[in-house]
Every structure is written in structure tokens, then in C-alpha cells.
Amino acid sequence: MIKFNKPYLTGKEAHYIFQAVYDNNHISGNGNFTKKCHDFFENRYGFKKTLMTTSCTDALEMAAILINIKEGDEVIMPSFTFVSTANAFVLRGAKIIFADSEKDTPNIDADKIENLITKKTKAIVPVHYAGMSCDMDKIMSIAKKHNIFVIEDAAQAINSYYKNKPLGSIGHFGTFSFHETKNIQAGEGGLLIINDEKFIKRAEIIWEKGTNRAEFFRGDVDKYGWVDIGSSFLPSDMIAAFLYAQLENLDKIQKKRKVPYYASNNAHMFYIICNNFNDRTKILKHFKENNIMAVFHYLSLHKSQFYKNKYDGDSLFMADFYEENLIRLPLFYELDDKKINKIVEILKKFFQKK
């Protein structure tokens, strides 16, 4: 069976975890390896401030808290995305306003955003599907015009760029995922990117359970206490140790995943679009019969069991189109040419018979 995904291990993960536990004697959050990860992202990509989280979901939830999402606020995002994108804001009482996808990509159609804006709109959450950038110039222009926040859901987009700007660095906030299905992974884990300096101090407080503990450990205050709302968003330093071994090999991993070598995206995903739902069903069955694990992806959130009775907008034709016709093919570091050729040949045979 050719698996859909197989996490890549560099060989240093266990060593760094051992180092965190026995040499540094620090396995809770915000230890030496957490700092190393923060430094990596801030130095390599020029992010103003980064904070590791236990998941990308947590990073999105932190962003929702930082922009003071409250009951009745509206947040615009694509329907074709993972449920975490919406949940982070629903948990704080927001109404989700779903936008349709582009005709050429599953990304949010930036031309559809402005008509969805009302006096209650607090934020736009573009999702960079498969590491492909949304039209960020257009989105940022709309946000500036209407004085609303932009939070980039860049869960799949580490090391992807928009006009030479790293994704996650363009909006007011960005978020990454280090789930085991991602290019760079730690089993679970995430990162909040803070691009507006005025949010940095409060972000640290929310990150540290609502306390000014980070200031205390820097020596900025002589004691710390409860000063704001927050939660336990910090991952263990063992997770950071695992991640740091991956980050050291980022270029090596990316070089292997990218096809061709000059690809401008981050090679997070290779997907195909079928002509119709019936074809997709048959292709997935055809792959499975030939020991290849391919999968479809998101179900449109505006039609979900949880939200369908709350959704009162227009039909989202392209979101539904991708829901019914998109197939994700296997893609992971150890996928060799022999297996790639098998996948291609099996797909070709399907259409030759058809």
C-alpha cells in the first residue's frame, strides 16, 4: 500500500528530546528548544514575533482573543477549509460569513469579499490552500479600506511566498501547523505569527495563561500574576525539540518535495480536479484496488451539520465543486520515483479504460 502520508524523521528528533529532558532538565513549555524555534522563524522569515502553540487551532484561537472577537462580530473566510478555521472564532461568539472559492484554485475568491462586509465585520481569514497564496494585495487593500483585521491561516503554507513575502507575514497575524501531515511536523503543534507590534505584549500574556510570566522571566517585572484572560497554549519543550530537528532540515525536505525544482509553492500537496463526483468516486476506488491511498478533502462548512441552519448567504458553487471533485494524491518525503510512476500509471489506466 502506498500511504497517503508518511511523516519524515531526520534522525535528530530523539536526540534533541533527550537533550531537553536530561541536559536542559526542562520539559514544560517555553524552554530552550521553544526559544530556538522562535529564533528560527523570526530570523529566517523576518516575522516580528512568533509563539509556538499546541496546534494551529490554538494559534487561531489566540488571534481571535487578541482582536477581541465577541458575540455578534462577523468573520469572513472560505467555506472550503478545515473546521478549525471557523471554530476558533465561533468559540468566541462570532458569526461566520462564508465566501466562495476561486475558479482556478480552492482559495478564497478575493473579488467576492467586499460585498460580504458589513458594520459587524471584524476580520478576514484567508486560507492558503496547499501552500498556494491567496491574492493578498487585494485582501489587504480591502481590509485597510474597511479597517478590519486579516489573519492568515497558513497551516499548509510554511516556506511559501507571495511576491517574495513569506506567507504568514502579510496579515496582522499568521498561523502555521506542524501536524504530522505537514511538510515540517512535530506530530501536533502550531505557531502564531504576530506582525503588528502593538499585539506582542498581550500575546505573551494570553500565551502564558493570562499572566505576565514571560516578563518576569526576562526580568522586566519582579513578580508575575493574573493580568488578562488566557489559556495554556504553550506546547511542551519536547515538542519544540522534535520540531527543531525538522526545522534544521527544512531546505532538504523542501528540495525533495518540490516538483519541479523551480516550483514557487511549498509542495505541501499535489491534487487533481475530476470532471464530476462520479469520476472521483471511481478513481478513489481504482486507486484503493491498486494499493494506493488517495483521499478527498474538505466538506463545505456552510453545508455542515453544525452550520447549515445558521448559514443564510448565497450558494457557493466553487466551494461545492472542490468538495465533490478534488482528490489529494500521496505526497511525502520518502515517496520515490518508482511509487510516483505507479501512481501516474494507475491514473492513466483509469482514463484509458474510460
Respond yes or no on whether the N-terminal peptide bond of residue 260 is cis (omega within 30° of 0). Answer: yes
In the β-sheet with 95-99, what is the strand arrangement from edge to edge?
49-53, 190-194, 173-177, 149-153, 121-124, 74-78, 95-99
At which residue does the C-alpha cell 472542490 appear? 322
Is residue 5, in this structure, part of any structural domain at all?
no
pTM: 0.92
User: Does residue 3 sit within a domain?
Assistant: no
- In a domain? residue 239: yes
Q: Which three cell numbers stand for residue 82?
A: 478545515
103 within a domain of the structure (yes/no): yes
Domain contains 298: yes
Asked if the structure places residue 47 within a domain, the reply is yes
Of the chain, the end-to-end C-alpha distance in Å amounts to 24
pLDDT in tens, 282-336: 999 999 999 999 999 999 999 999 999 999 989 999 999 999 999 999 999 999 9
How confident is the model at residue 26, as a pLDDT? 83
**DSSP-assigned letter for residue 302:** G
Query: Residues 110, 51, 137, CA angle at the centre, nearest 5°?
Result: 20
Q: Which residue's C-alpha cell is 473546521?
A: 83
> By C-alpha distance, which of 267, 250, 251 is closest to 259?
267
Stretch (H or E) spanning 170: none
Q: What stretches in the chain show pLDDT beneath 70?
A: 262-263
59 located within any domain:
yes
Spatial separation of the C-alpha atoms in residues 279 and 324, rounded to whole Å: 10
Q: What CATH number does the domain containing 301 carry? A: 3.40.640.10
Beta bridge partners of 190: 53, 177
What's the number of domains the chain is made of? 1
In this structure, are residues 59 and 100 in contact, taking their beta carbons and an 8 Å threshold? no
Q: Quick one: cell of 269?
A: 500537496
Give the CA-trace dihedral at 328, 331, 336, 342, to 10 degrees: -10
Encode pLDDT of 108-136 as tens digits.
999 999 999 999 999 999 999 999 999 99
Three cell numbers at 338? 518508482
Distance between CA atoms of residues 126 and 198, nearest Å: 22
Instruction: In whole angstroms, give the CA distance from residue 333 to residue 256.
Output: 6
SS3 (DSSP) at 271: strand
Domain that holds residue 304: 13-353
62 class by beta-carbon count within 10 Å (0-12 exposed, 13-18 middle, 19+ buried): buried
**pLDDT given for residue 263 in this prediction:** 66
State whether residue 151 is helix, strand or coil: strand
